[in-house]
Structure 1
Amino acid sequence: MKTLQLLTFFICFCTILSCSSDSDTNDDDAPQTEAIYFPPINSDTWETKTIEELDWNTTELQPLLDFLEEKNTKSFMILHKGKIVVEEYMNGHDANSTWYWASAGKTLTTAISGIAEQEGFIDINNKVSDYVGTGWTSAPAEKEDLITCQHLLSMTSGLDDEAGDDISPENLQYVADAGTRWAYHNVFVKMQDVVEQATNETWDNYFTNKLKDPIGMNGSWTTLGNINVYWSNTRSMARFGLLTYANGSWEDTQILNENFVAEATNTSQDINLAYGYLWWLNGKSTYHLPQSQVEFPGELIPDAPDDTFAALGLNDQKIYVVPSKELVVIRMGQAADSENFALSSFDNDLWIKINALIN
């Protein structure tokens, strides 16, 4: 009997030991997820990754670069999980040159609004007039009272969008109740006034302290008429794209609340499905364009991945973020073809070329 008990114990012990050994082996052999890389704040150092490492189509790189140069591009970058895969300068531009973001910089206002909210200075669901006072539009008082910060960020203020860049009160006329009409409008700039009033800091100081310096951007704001336009080098634009790809974090620091990033990069209202908080969204069934009330069927950029979201600016300034492909793509330059406000046919043409490279 004792012999049988000892034999049973020995078999069980060996089984446990074998399972433990197999478990250790599996842990060691399991593929390790590559962490997102963040370039140092006060350094030009930026780690790279080769096309060969990613098993991309090396023969498609030169056709992509030729296409970009032909289309008046000044700089182009592709990051994969934060590391530079492609970085090219052309048409008289170099790594130290600065260029305007145009409306791609609207997303900087989104980010700063989110930071001000997480710090308790504002609530984007509050009325704009709570921060800047009444009479900031020419709308009837009861209609102005309907406009929240969220409406500014989602382009649904209901104010007349045909007055151009001038956002003085006399040019901000009532057209529809806030939240019932989507129109691409520079009135979003009033969010910068909201932040200034709520924080008791200048827009430039708050931006520099809360976003620019913490992620190592360079550049500055230039006032053109009634709006601020951001200028920087290409890597600074890439840093901001990387911050957004990383859900608002920079290494171990959460610069921008992850939930706010998710809210900003998803449909913000039920009129233009392809628009978040000043971010354009791919993969939706319909979309609207600037200076139009027409609803177009189909995706914003049919040949881009469905989960692409983008900062799009005048004359084809681009930040594309593609979580499924772990990519951030930057394009700066003059208009690829004809002058445009945001989206253009160049977006889809460019993605056909990028797909040939990465697929």
Structure 2
Amino acid sequence: MKCQYFLVFIVMMSFLNCSKDEPVESETLYFPPINSETWETKTIEDLGWNTSELQPLLSFLEEKSTKSFMILYNGRIVREDYFNGHSKTASWYWASAGKTLTTAVCGIAQQEGLININNKVSDYLGIGWTSASLDKENLITCKNLLSMNSGLDDSLGDDVSPENLQYLVDSGIRWAYHNVYVKMQDVVAAASNQTWNSYFNTKLRDKIGMNGLWANLGDLSVYGSNTRSMARFGLMISAKGKWENTQIVPESYLNEATNTSQDINKAYGYLWWLNGKTTYHLPQTQIEFNGKLIPNAPDDMYAALGKNDQKIYIVPSKKLVIIRMGESAEDSNFALSNFDNDLWRKLNAFVN
């Protein structure tokens, strides 16, 4: 009998020792409930992050005209901070960070068989949607619009009426940041026989519990929402297009969207910016820059970047989604700014 008790004791001690040495199974990815303010949190102490670097990060954000800032780890809120008179319920514009909403909805429409991004745009909008000759217009595919290599003249402003969409070079051979991407909203509307707003709300916004709406500001289609809605979208994208057990955006399509989409700007997918590449291009220039888009950020990070420093950073290797909304941190900009690299220097000191 004593021998039996001794054997049980040995087995129990072995189990306890193994439990101490082996890592605890990582917790599952969390999704906040739809139509609820409930959102699980994680403390920086739980994560072992550098608590002494938190206040320097928050002070930097406030000094740089930030309105709101969120960090999600594995879907849970680690930090949610509001500055300069902003609040949890207040809305703010996404600017060009909202381009990635169009990317996501195009993936949904393709999954439903409504569009094929490899088809020419005129298949959906009819001929004459540009001022280019028919043979040149028919070279432009939906993928060209998502990749910013339509070949249309980007120097004529944001107006996307046919007379302002003029041929410059054949599609696919020149990368240029251009508002013509917004024609993809018209493509989805025509193919679905719905308004863009209706299709977007039904297929994306309402399925993940976002709020917000689209507004036409001059020639621009701009989305606005509260900060948590931007975080919900970032979380869904980081989860490879899923929300809990529902596939919202096809994973294979998102893999394409968040990898280099053409041979010119290696740091650009389908309206997503990509870090860790050897070269990159920026809006309003044809110069190729050597090095990574944001040197201080992880190589696997990809981002939605908008005018005046609207940001969604997604870092798969660190299970992070990071949101920044606000005024321009420095000078007015269209996407990337020095603020990105400076912010990541602060984040690296804070996040272990």
Give the TM-score taking structure 2 as reference length.
0.94
User: Deviation per CA, 1:46-96, whole angstroms, max 9, x where unpaired?
Assistant: 000000000000010000000000000000000000000010000010000
Equivalent residues in 2 for 1:200-279, closer than 5 Å: 200-279=193-272
The 1-side partners of 2:35 and 2:89 are apart by 15
**Unaligned runs of at least 5 residues, structure 1:** 1-17
Residue-by-residue CA offset, 1:165-215 (whole Å, 9 max, x unaligned) = 111111111111100000000000000000000000100000000000000
Equivalents in 2 of 1:341, 1:307: separation in Å? 22
After superposition, where does 1:262-341 map in structure 2 within 5 Å?
262-341=255-334
What is the RMSD of the two structures over their aligned residues, measured on CA atoms? Answer: 1.8
1:75 alignment partner in structure 2: 68
In the alignment, which residue of structure 2 is the partner of 1:153?
Answer: 146
SS class of match (1:214): coil
What is the CA–CA distance in structure 1 between the aligned matches of 2:19 and 2:176, rounded to whole Å? 53
Q: Post-superposition shift, 1:34?
A: 1.7
Q: 1:26 to 1:58 in 2, by over 3 A?
A: closer
How far did 1:31 drift?
3.0
Q: Distance in 2 between matches of 1:166 and 1:339?
A: 21
Distance, in Å, in 2 between the alignment partners of 1:326 and 1:202 is 35
Task: Measure the CA separation in 1 of the matches of 2:19 and 2:326.
Answer: 48
Please give the alpha-carbon distance, in whole angstroms, between the structure 2 residues aligned to 1:295 and 1:72. Answer: 30
Structure 2 partner of 1:122: 115
Amino acid at match of 2:252: N
Q: Describe the superposition over 1:259-287 as per-residue Cα deviations: whole angstroms up to 9, x where unpaired.
A: 11111000000100000000000000000
Structure 1 ranges of 4+ moved more than 4 A: 25-30
Distance 1:219 1:284 in 2: 33
**Whole-Å Cα distance in 1 between the matches of residues 179 and 140 of structure 2?**
15
Report the alpha carbon displacement of residue 225 of structure 1 after superposing the two structures with TM: 1.6
SS at structure 2 position matched to 1:215: coil
How much does 1:226 deviate? Answer: 2.3
2:166 alignment counterpart: 173
- Aligned to 1:57, which of 50, 60, 78? 50
How far the C-alpha of 1:26 sits from its partner, in A, is 7.0
Take 2:217 and 2:332, find their aligned partners in 1: how far apart are those partners? Answer: 18
Q: Give the AA of the match of 2:91.
A: T
Q: Secondary structure of 1:162's match?
A: helix
Where does residue 184 of structure 1 map in the other structure?
Answer: 177
Q: How far apart in 2 are the matches of 1:146 and 1:230?
A: 30
Give, as a single letter, the amino acid of the residue that structure 1 aligns with 2:220. I
Partner of 2:6: none
Cα distance in 2 for partners of 1:274, 1:337 equals: 23
Deviation at 1:164, TM superposition (A): 1.4
What displacement does 1:228 show?
1.2
- Which of 27, 33, 37 is the matching residue for 1:40? 33
Alignment partner, residue 135 of structure 1: 128
SS in structure 1 of the partner of residue 45 of structure 2: coil
Amino acid at match of 1:129: S
- Separation (CA, whole Å) in 1 of partners of 2:342 and 2:104: 29
1:85 aligns with 2:59: no
Q: Which residue of 2 aligns with 1:96?
A: 89
Please state whether the residue corresponding to 2:256 is helix, strand or coil.
helix
* Alpha-carbon offset, residue 154 of structure 1: 0.2
Greater Rg by CA: 1
Letter in 1 for 2:155: E
Whole-angstrom CA distance in 1 between matches of 2:102 and 2:176: 18
**Cα distance in structure 2, aligned partners of 1:94 and 1:345:** 26
What is the CA–CA distance in structure 1 between the aligned matches of 2:118 and 2:207, rounded to whole Å? 27
Which is worse superposed, 234-243 or 27-36?
Answer: 27-36
Distance between the aligned counterparts of 2:213 and 2:225, measured in 1?
7
Deviation of 1:33 after TM superposition, in Å, equals 2.6
